[in-house]
Amino acid sequence: MNIETSRSNAVFSPQETSAGLIDILLSSLEALAAAGQADAACRLAGRACATLRNKDPGGWRRFNALLHRLCK
């Protein structure tokens, strides 16, 4: 059994699930920007920031940091 299989059978708390999804989305947005779609990545990251602002300050900070990196 590989690690992906064992993790897919694990039970995660809502916080762990949220953190995992944020990791996936940040990686996806970074890949989108690297593929020449930085504007689209910024728009999506901005939407994530707006969604998380009052619900998940840590997640909001991570998307905000990505926005600042992509705007350079």
Q: Give the DSSP per-residue string, 1-69.
A: --HHHHHHTS---HHHHHHHHHHHHHHHHHHHHHTT-HHHHHHHHHHHHHHHTTT-HHHHHHHHHHHHH
Task: Give residue for tokens 């039970």.
Answer: 11
Question: What is the identity of the amino acid at 9?
Answer: N
Q: What is the pLDDT of residues 19-70, one digit of tens each?
A: 999 999 999 999 999 999 999 999 999 999 999 999 999 999 999 999 999 9
Domain map of the chain by residue range?
37-72
Please give the residue that has the higher pLDDT: either 4 or 68: 68
Contact 65, 58 (CB under 8 A): no
